[in-house]
Structure 1
Amino acid sequence: MASVPNADTGSAEYRAANLEAALKPATAAHVRPEIVLARLRRHGRRLFLPAIVLLVVAPLAGFYGSWFREQWQQLSVLGGAALVILLLCLLPYLAWLGTTFTITTKRIIIRHGVIVRSRSEVSLGRIREVQLRSNAIQRLYRSGTIHLAVGSDSVLKLNDVPQAELVVSMLHELIERSYAAETTLPTAYPSDNHVSSTVNN
């Protein structure tokens, strides 16, 4: 049975020894450093319609705003144009900008929102199945929605990812390597006696 270091020390060595004793043996996946492999957003074609609206509404607002003589009419035109640009241009752009998919060597992280941020993540070792679904438009742009089966019922979605087939291939490779690493233990761990002697010294 592992010996427990003296709690009266209150030192960093004591806390480190307790953590070591509580967590070991760790798998090789926990020893490997985490590296960010890709940061993705949804396909950029989602910004095509907002860009068209901006290019159309802005000149029309300038033209009709100067065409009316009354100030309240000009302000009404400019206010309506500003509202259209806000709803159809700015908000879609912020929604696209605020959604990111981060793939690392250990996990997948999904972030949503601009003002209120939400975050979901899953370790590669928990993913049981990867599916790619693409409609006709997505196939034209080589994008798609990736479904990650986590556990029995939970599904995590990466919506409208660009270069979806390449991302799926990368995920398969990462998951296979993660499974292989989880079954491999580090070759050496400090013994309990070594931990105790280190703390007591």
Structure 2
Amino acid sequence: MALSKKLLVEGEREVLTLRTHVKTMILSVVLLIVLCAAGGFLVAIVPDGDQQQWVRIAVIVIVLVLIVWWGVIPLVKWATSTYSITNRRLVYQHGFIARKGRDVPLTRVNHVTFDKGVIDRIFRCGTLTVYDASEQPGMVLKDVPHVEDVHRTLNELVFDAHEGPHDEDNRPGGADDRTER
């Protein structure tokens, strides 16, 4: 779900839209498999008797509630949460029925940091923290896929927002001022 075109102002273009890394869904998938297996096993071992049908229905209802709670809800949250970067701002939106979000204009960004733990390095993701000139704490974007690339792109956009468009020699990572010409 990309940033809605009606939210973009004139001259603003979307540069990047991403979701949290799919690794955040691993526990939910494992729980779904375990719940389905456990539910099937419990339904199969219900002893014969007058209450057999009601016990099976109770097991199925409990398993379905747990599947929705631990599987469907996290999937919907994952699918409806996005990080969008435009040439003017950083936008975090989340929510299915009611949408919430936070925008940080790139002109207000002081600095951007990223953090990658061991598991993050394996999955090629990390946490991006954007500090801006406001009283709110920094915007923390967890489990960002390819966090170094996003960090680099965001830094270039912040530089552009603060300094204006740059030429090849004035870009971060461009020619060094100390180099002889």
Q: TM-score range by the shorter chain?
A: 0.7 to 0.9
Match of 2:70 among 88, 92, 114: 88
Return the alpha-carbon distance in structure 2 between the equivalents of residues 52 and 89 of structure 1. Answer: 9
Cα 1:103–1:152 change in 2 (3 A) is closer
| Alpha-carbon spacing, 1:151–1:73, altered in 2? closer, same or farther (3 Å) | same
SS in 2 for 1:94: helix
1:161 to 144, 148, 160: 144
The one of the two structures with greater contact order (alpha-carbon pairs below 8 A, sep at least 6) is: 1
Partner AA of 2:11 in structure 1: P
Note closer, same or farther for the CA distance 1:62–1:47 as it changes in structure 2 (3 Å cut). Answer: same
Distance in 1 separating the partners of 2:121 and 2:44: 45
Q: What is the correspondence of 1:20-35 to structure 2 with a 5 Å cutoff? A: 33-35=11-13
Q: Of 73, 81, 90, which residue of structure 1 is paired with 2:55?
A: 73
TM-score (norm 1): 0.69
Determine what percentage of the aligned residue pairs are the same residue.
Answer: 28
The aligned counterpart of 1:49 is 27
Is 2:119 the counterpart of 1:127? no
5 Å matches for 1:2-13?
A: none
Select the structure of larger CA radius of gyration. 1
**Cα deviation code 1:119-140 (max 9, x no counterpart):** 1101111101001122221122
Q: 1:152 to 1:61 in 2, by over 3 A?
A: closer
Residue 177 of structure 1 pairs with residue 160 of structure 2: yes
Q: 1:60 aligns with which of 35, 38, 47?
A: 38
> What secondary structure sits across from 1:85 in the alignment?
helix
What TM-score do the two structures reach when normalised by structure 2?
0.76
The Cα shift of 1:112 comes to: 1.6
State the one-letter code of the partner of 1:174: L
Q: Which runs of at least 4 in structure 1 moved beyond 3 Å after TM superposition? A: none
Gaps of 5+ in 1: 1-30, 183-201
Opposite residue 84 of structure 1, the aligned amino acid is L
Distance (Å, rounded) in 1 between the aligned partners of 2:35 and 2:152: 42
